[in-house]
Chain A
Amino acid sequence: DTAVSQTPKYLVTQMGNDKSIKCEQNLGHDTMYWYKQDSKKFLKIMFSYNNKELIINETVPNRFSPKSPDKAHLNLHINSLELGDSAVYFCASSQETSNYGYTFGSGTRLTVV
């Protein structure tokens, strides 16, 4: 069983479209995160949810909206996709806080054309 699973693994879409990426963890962790990794491998936190409550909301365009239906799921919805949104998006989870370390999903490679 995959601990943190993301779908889809690859996503190719046109500018202006709306898309969602789903994430599920079966570790019983309380906190989930979304990170964006750019072409230079730089990792930037986007959002953090603790038990369905938004904890971190870094400066990202409001076209990005996270949704956590329960503490095992954290989805990322992106409206009006732009070329600059092309990146690899990683979901991660941790016990309570990030001080315990993360378990990462395998990533979703988003390509906007």
Chain B
Amino acid sequence: AQSVTQLGSHVSVSEGALVLLRCNYSSSVPPYLFWYVQYPNQGLQLLLKYTSAATLVKGINGFEAEFKKSETSFHLTKPSAHMSDAAEYFCAVSYNDMRFGAGTRLTVKP
């Protein structure tokens, strides 16, 4: 069975600073990996997904994630944080059955 672990339930950065949200996966088969964002009182929105076409995946809102098989990681980054990036971020893994991480709340300080 596959699973993901998000390191850090809460990450705080200053506006303009690098955003790094960590995700490690466990899967016995080549995984499909996803990052979703949830703004307050809203549903989850797909940021990006890895489907083995390329290890560096670019998503919406300037986010990207790199698949590293040797480290079983799929960390999410953004070079410069904006106040509007404050939200809950979920990493997920799927092989016909999607499992979500516990989420990381990103706070952006002015």
A103 with B46: CB separation less than 8 A: yes
Interchain CA distance A98-B2 in the complex, whole Å: 13
Q: Which residue of A lies closest to B45 (CB)?
A: A104
Residues 42-89 of B contacting A (Cβ, < 8 Å): 42-46, 49, 51, 88
Known contacts A41-B88, A102-B46: A97-B96 contact under CB 8 Å: yes
A-B Cβ contacts below 8 A, count = 54
Chain A residue at smallest Cβ distance from B34: A101
- With a cutoff of 8 Å between Cβ atoms, the chain A residues found around residue B34 in the complex are 101
Assess whether A15 is interfacial by the CB under 8 Å rule: no
Cβ of A113 under 8 Å from chain B: no
| Contact (Cβ within 8 A) B96 A99 | yes
Q: What separation, in Å, do the CA atoms of A36 and B94 have in the docked complex? A: 18
Measured in the bound complex, the distance between the Cα atoms of B49 and A98 in whole Å is: 12
In chain A, what residue has the closest Cβ to B32? A99
Majority DSSP secondary structure for residues of A touching B: mixed
Known: A41-B88, A41-B103. A98 touches B96 (CB 8 A): yes
15 other A-B residue contacts (CB within 8 Å) besides A97-B94, A99-B95, A101-B49 = A41-B38, A41-B88, A42-B100, A43-B44, A43-B90, A43-B103, A92-B44, A98-B94, A98-B96, A102-B44, A104-B45, A105-B43, A106-B43, A107-B41, A107-B42
Across the interface, which residues of B come within 8 angstroms of A98, CB to CB? 32, 94, 96-98
For B20-49 the 0/1 string (1 means CB < 8 A from A) is 000000000000101010100111111001
Interface residue? B11 (CB, 8 A): no
Any chain A CB within 8 A of the CB of B102? yes
25 examples of A-B residue contacts, CB within 8 angstroms: A40-B102, A41-B102, A41-B103, A42-B102, A43-B44, A45-B98, A45-B99, A48-B97, A90-B44, A92-B44, A97-B94, A97-B96, A98-B97, A98-B98, A99-B51, A99-B95, A101-B32, A101-B34, A101-B49, A102-B36, A102-B98, A103-B46, A104-B36, A107-B41, A107-B42
